[in-house]
Structure 1
Amino acid sequence: MRITNKMMTNNSLSNINKNKNRLNYLDQQYSTGKKIQKPSDDPIVAVRALKLRTTVAEIDQYYNKNIPDAMSWMEVTESALKNINSILTNIHTQFNQGANDTLSKSDRDSIVKNLQEMKSQIYQEGNTNYAGRYVFTGYKTNTSLIFNEESLDTRYSIAESFSGTAIETVTTVAGSYKISDYNAGTSTVNDFATAPNVVESYRIRLSYDQLDTTVPTISYKDPVTGDPVAVTPNVVSVTDSDTAYSPAAGAVNFIPETGELILGKDVYNAMRLNQTGDIKITYDKTNFEKGDLRPEHYFTCTTVDTKAVPPDPGTNYKFEDQKIQYEITFNQKLTINTQGKDAISHSIGREIDEVLAAVEDVTITEGKIEEVEKLLKSPHTTEEEKVVLNKLKEQLDTELVLKNSILQDKFGAGLTETEKYQEKVSIVIADAGSRYVRLQLTESRLDSQLVDSKELMSNNEDADLAEVIINYTAAETIYNASLNAASKIVKNTLLDFI
């Protein structure tokens, strides 16, 4: 076959171009550190790179964003729970002191002040927030657990459910006397012959006191037929102490001031066998003090703005579990929040309120005794009046003994309730701790996965620079050789042979 100069020139130029492309390819690998510059360079490497980059991005999201945020949330929650547990220990100490010591007025005042402060602080811990989100309020992270200000214009209709085990025995003093009962100088002189006595009653204590006087709705299951039974309670004032805690056998007394339902014996016998949730009570409350727990976080309820124009149709809240879950790794979610209903309940506040009320009762009775003693020492008091006053003092002394006994019982009940509450909080802390440990284990595993995935991605995408340099040097030598060979071929012409 005849080989012409043009053919040799074309072949030389083609070889030079191929060698130059090879040199350019290796130069790009060396400059970028990557094996390929576009998918067509190596489709298999390109597809694998996309998958590995997606995996690394997901692991990075879990490891550097989701898990640190979840850890911070849980650390804030655990800190608040530990503070609550510490406060409960102090409350237990105060109750223990009250239950075991004979208290002077100054001792009682000190305990009252401490209990009030600690009750306020426990509920204030419920307002703990992380990054502007309340940690104990479930999905409603923009709503505080407690009322931050007094609320007087929003009426809550609250639905509570109880079992028969929630019915308690409560002891009160009936037949108390007031100083105004001493009517000296009148035609009717009180002889104070009847001594105050203790009355035991059955009650259901609602979660709130200072309720509206609207008649609540009450229903329970008949223990024989299982049919629902409705009861309409009598609304009575706590000031009617002789009747409020002594309902008829088939009746129920509702005391709005204390948030109590006092059950007649027949009603008690029917209710006490009811299971969890069988006793249903719906009541209204409009006046909430600063620091009260918000009902929407604990109960199914309806709120109505009483001052709204046009009338407010109401907002309904349904009681349900509200677990905030973070995706912490592939197809794995972890609940990061602790709900207020599981850790911060109304019961401890109600126990403290009852102790404070019992202390106030004792203080009032002591004040009445002091007034009587002043009258006895007065030079204007006749001998006949002193006889009556001494009888009154005797009955007031009896009343004081009874109320001191009730106060001791309240302190004892507070001890028991605090221990139960601490056990509940300890369980919640342990649960939060176990979830935190799981989070730490996941973080450790993701750390290893992130390193491994990045290494795989590097092995897939990154060029071996040592190999690239060797190949580049060889390609450069070949390219220069092709240029040298071409220069010798191209310079030969017909004139060289004349």
Structure 2
Amino acid sequence: MRITNSMMTNNVLLNINRNRETLSLYETQMATGKKIQKPSDNPIVAIRALKFRNNVNEIKQYQTNAEDAISWAGVTEQSVTNVTEILKRVRDLSVQATSDVLNVENRKNVVTEIEQLMEQFVNEGNTTYAGRHVFSGYKTNMPLVFTETSGDTYELTQSFSASDVEKTQRVVNSEIIDVNRIRLGYTGISNPDATSLIPPFTAVNTMNAADPGAMTPVLGEVNFIQDTGELIFHPDDVSSIPDPLDFTYEKTGFEKGDLMPDHYFDGQNLTTGSVFTVSNEKMLYQISYSQQMSINTMGYDVIGVDLVRDVEELINATKSIGDDDTLTTALQEDLLGDVFNKLIGKMDGHIGKLLNTRAEIGGKINRLELTINRLSEDNLNFTDLLSKNEDVDYSEVIMKMAAQEMVYNASLSASAKIIQPTLLDFIR
């Protein structure tokens, strides 16, 4: 086989270009620190790199979610703690007010402090995190309590069971009597829907607390007390109360600090036409690959209707006592100590419920902290795998580059010896 100068030249150039290409590859790896520059360089490495990068990005997003969730829970926990401390102070004041040494004026002073505490208490319901109300479920743009006076009319439906019937005492016709009642969500209500009570009862009478017979309904009838927000039953009719009982009524006008019905009842805002239902609206945070956590606490688990009504009744009972020396006033004074005493037991129940809520939030925070720690470890592991998959070993590349540089120089030297001067070189 005849080897021509042209063939030798082409082979020399081909070999030199191959060596230069390999040398360029090592130089690029040195400059970028990556094994490949495009997927076609090594499809397997490229696919694994995409998977690892996706895993790292997911973990970072989960970390962000978990950190946001723990901040939300921290704000919620602090608010619940504040509410608990307020209720403890209300309980302490109630203990003081049960003392027979205190007269009505002293107890009114106690109630004045309780009113201030309750104003701060309901304000805790409007706690926000990053501009979102934490106790409003999905309605994060809507406060839990009214921030200003509202003249809207609501139609509300409350559900009761037989256990919601409460026995209390009232002063009627200069004597203390027992009253069986179901307490509704608000005072100053109207337009009862009697269909849920008739039958078994024959009539639902709309009255005010001061009306004759308001606290002593006729057998087989129910008295709907508008100003105090109560259903009054004859003692012999208590066993006839439907169980469950869904009772509907209307409420027009709300003061600053009143609970917003949208978060507590099923009903409709007759002024705006909006319809709402009460539900456990869980705000779920994705904190891991297949793990979600409900991070919010509903307002009715912190500031309940019964809690607000308990304190409201105490305040009204204290303020309603006059300065005269009538027998009715004396009996009201006697009952006031019992009202404070009952509030102590009710406060214990409300505080116990809040402590359970705090424990639940604390458990969530502990779980989130453990999750964040695990995600940090996962992030390190996948980042390490990503580095091993696509990052070069500099010591290895330097060694290969030095060896390739020697090969390249050797090829240049060999080429100079192979391609000898020709007659044309001398003619030039």
In the superposition, the TM-score normalised over structure 2's length comes to 0.96
In 1: Cα distance, 2:341 partner to 2:58 partner: 56
**Inter-partner Cα distance in structure 2 for 1:134 and 1:495:** 91
Contact 2:104 2:333 in 1 (8 A): no
**Rounded Cα–Cα distance in structure 2 between residues aligned with 1:128 and 1:71:** 16
Q: Is the 8 A contact 2:202 2:220 kept in 1?
A: no
Residues 109-128 of structure 1: CA distance to partner in whole angstroms, max 9, x if unpaired? 32111111111211110000
Provide Cα deviations, 1:230-252, integer angstroms capped at 9, x if missing partner.
Answer: 66410112222x41101101111
| Residues 439 and 220 (structure 1), Cα distance of their counterparts in 2 relative to 1, 3 Å cut | farther
- CA displacement, residues 382-440 of structure 1 (integer Å, 9 cap, x when unaligned): xxxxxxxxxxxxxx2x3343212211111111111100000111111111111111111
Kept after mapping to 2: 8 A contact 1:215/1:232: no
Partner in structure 1 of residue 367 of structure 2 = 438
Report the residue type matching 1:337 in the other structure. N
Report what 1:99 is aligned to: 98
Alignment pair present for 1:219 and 2:193: no
| Contact 1:126/1:146 (8 A) holds in 2 | yes
Supply the distance in 2 between the matched residues of 1:202 and 1:260 (Cα, whole angstroms). 10
The equivalences for 1:63-78 within 5 A come to: 63=63, 65-78=64-77
Q: Which has the larger radius of gyration?
A: 1
Aligned equivalent of 1:55: 55
Asked whether the 8 Å contact 1:217–1:283 carries over to 2, the reply is no
One-letter amino acid of the structure 2 residue matched with residue 492 of structure 1: P
Within the candidate set 330, 337, 346, 2:289 is matched to 330
Match for residue 250 of structure 1 among 184, 209, 220 = 220
Say whether residues 1:470 and 2:399 are aligned partners.
Answer: yes
Whole-angstrom CA distance in 2 between matches of 1:136 and 1:282? 25
Q: CA deviation at 1:229?
A: 4.3
Matched residues in 1 for 2:258 and 2:202: separation? 29
Which residue of structure 2 lines up, in the alignment, with residue 407 of structure 1?
336
Bigger Cα displacement from structure 2, 286-295 vs 351-360? 351-360
Q: Does 1:16 align with 2:46?
A: no
Partner of 1:204: 182
Say if 2:324 is the partner of 1:368: yes
Equivalent residue number for residue 234 of structure 2 = 264
- Considering only aligned residues, what root-mean-square deviation do their CA atoms show, in Å? 1.8
TM-score of the superposed pair, with normalisation by structure 1:
0.83
Count the aligned residue pairs: 426
Q: Residues 57-86 of structure 1, C-alpha deviation per residue, up to 9 Å, x if partnerless? A: 0001111x2111111110000000000000
For residues 243 and 489 of structure 1, do their structure 2 counterparts lie closer, same or farther at Cα, with a shift above 3 Å needed? same
Identify which of 447, 452, 463 aligns with 2:381: 452
Say if 1:480 and 1:102 are closer, same or farther in 2 by CA, change over 3 A.
same
Paired position in structure 2 for 1:291: 257
Conserved 8 A contact 1:218-1:280: no
* Runs (5+) with no aligned partner, structure 2: none
Separation (CA, whole Å) in 1 of partners of 2:146 and 2:320: 28
- Cα deviation for residue 133 of structure 1 reads 0.2
The 1:482/1:109 distance shift into structure 2, 3 A limit, reads same
Could you tell me which residue of structure 1 aligns to residue 167 of structure 2? Answer: 169
Unmatched tracts of structure 1, length 5 or more: 176-195, 222-227, 306-311, 370-395
Give the direction of change, closer, same or farther, for the CA distance of 1:283–1:466 in structure 2 (3 Å limit).
same
- The sequence identity of aligned pairs, in percent, is 40
Give the Å deviation of 1:329. Answer: 0.6
Q: Which residue of 1 aligns with 2:116?
A: 117
- C-alpha distance in structure 2 between counterparts of 1:167 and 1:489, whole Å: 112
